[in-house]
Every structure is written in structure tokens, then in C-alpha cells.
Amino acid sequence: MINIAIDGPGGAGKSTIAKAAAKELGYIYVDTGALYRSVGLYALRKEVKTDSADEVVPLLSEISVELKFIDGSQRVYLNGEDVSEEIRTPEASMAASNVSAIQAVRDFLFDLQRNIAKENNCIMDGRDIGTVVLPNAQVKIFLTASAEERAKRRYLQLMEKGQEVKYEDVLKELQERDYQDSHREIAPLKPAEDSIIIDTSDINLEQSIDTVVNVIRERV
């Protein structure tokens, strides 16, 4: 199977770019952040402290997370419930970042990610795909952009969806998550040694997609 890993900080456009590239190449697109978000959402619903391993780990035995691909588009199910939209709130983002620093949570979601990659040509995006989940991926891309540019894009996206947010809050939340995701002890966000770094700060969406597709085509 052809496996492409795309890692990078939140708001770098990974999901939009990876989704479009996957469509063009005929691969499935796997958004692994949705898995951590689902665990985070469950912990939020149970009103536990999402950054406490002692409180989060016992919940794992109550959780089943499943991904389904409908017309090439991913839906995520938490104990059978489609939570694909509900996991997108800023609270769920922070909860996801918190639970993702817990080793047992990462172990819990590991096989699911590996198995999808074993059975499908896919582009998988996340934080540790090239470094931990798919160290043998044929192509590894680290997609990034400046924090300000990422916050601007995320802000416009949320406004479009009708969510009332302030740019400053979006920027602060992104910076907090960046710090947390790249400074944690386990599977921190960092480019794999053999990854190709693409900075999208100064190129538009179309150019970013073309760059990613070309990088992949040249290598597989």
C-alpha cells in the first residue's frame, strides 16, 4: 500500500490540503486528530480533567472509536454516535491536545491508525505520523505556516461556520496547542528526519495542494 504521512501544527491547512491531494491521487484521507478529539470529547462529557492521566485512562475501557469513509470523506464515531461535527469546537481542540499527551491514549489509538494504513492507499495527517505511526511511509511531509497566518485562516473558517470568535483568542489557543504538542514527552510534534518541509505562509491553498501533489507524484 502507498502511505503518505503529513504532519504539522494545528491550522497549517493539513486537512484541507491532504483531503484535496488524496482526492486527486485516488487515496483515502485519514484525519487522525479526529481520534484524539473523540477521546477528548468523551472526557469532557464525563467532566473529568482532560490533562489528568489518572482521570482519563480509566475511561478508555468505555470508549470505542471508529472511522468510516463515506464517498471518500471521513466520519468519526464515538460509541456508535457520529461526532464528526461536535469534535470541532475550541474546547474539544484543547481537550484533544491534553489527552493526546497521555501514553495510554496514544497506545489506544495506535492499532486503528496502523490497520487503516495497512489496508488502504492513504494520506494520513496528524502530529506523529511520519515519526511514530508510519515510520516507513513512502513520503513524509511536514506542513507548516506562521502562527499568525494559521490563526487568520482558522479564524476565517470559524467565522464562515457562524462561530463567534476573536482573532486574538484563536491565535492564543493555537500557540498554546503548538507549545503543548511540541513539548510533550511522548511523540512530540516534530518533523521526521526524512520529511519534506513545506511552509504555506506565503502560498495560497491551490498552490499548497499542487506542491503537495507534486512532491508525492515525484516519489511514488
Grid cell at residue 4: 503518505
Q: Are 65 and 76 in contact (CB under 8 A)?
A: yes
Question: Residue 13 or residue 126: which is nearer to ligand DC going by CB?
Answer: 126
Q: Which pairing describes strands 139-144 and 196-199: parallel, antiparallel, or unpaired? A: parallel
Is the Cβ of residue 139 or residue 181 nearer to ligand DC in the bound state? Answer: 181
By beta-carbon proximity to ligand DC, the closer residue of 197 and 217 is: 197
Between 185 and 218, name the residue whose CB sits nearer to ligand DC: 185
Q: Is 20 exposed, middle or buried (0-12, 13-18, 19+ CB in 10 A)?
A: buried
Q: Which is nearer to ligand DC, 25 or 109 (CB)?
A: 109
Least Å distance between CB 169 and ligand DC? 16
Q: Return d(Cα 182, Cα 10) in angstroms, integer.
A: 11
User: What is the closest distance, in whole angstroms, from the C-beta atom of residue 36 to ligand DC in the complex?
Assistant: 3
- Binding stretches for ligand DC (CB under 6 A): 10, 32-33, 36-37, 93, 96-97, 100, 126-129, 177, 181
If we measure between CA atoms, which residue out of 122, 109, 120, 131 comes closest to residue 190?
A: 131
Minimum CB distance to ligand DC, residue 182 (Å): 10
- Shortest distance, CB of residue 191 to ligand DC, whole angstroms? 14
Nearest distance in Å: CB 126, ligand DC: 2
Burial of 51 (0-12, 13-18, 19+ CB in 10 A): middle
Q: State the Cα–Cα distance between residues 203 and 146, nearest whole angstrom.
A: 12
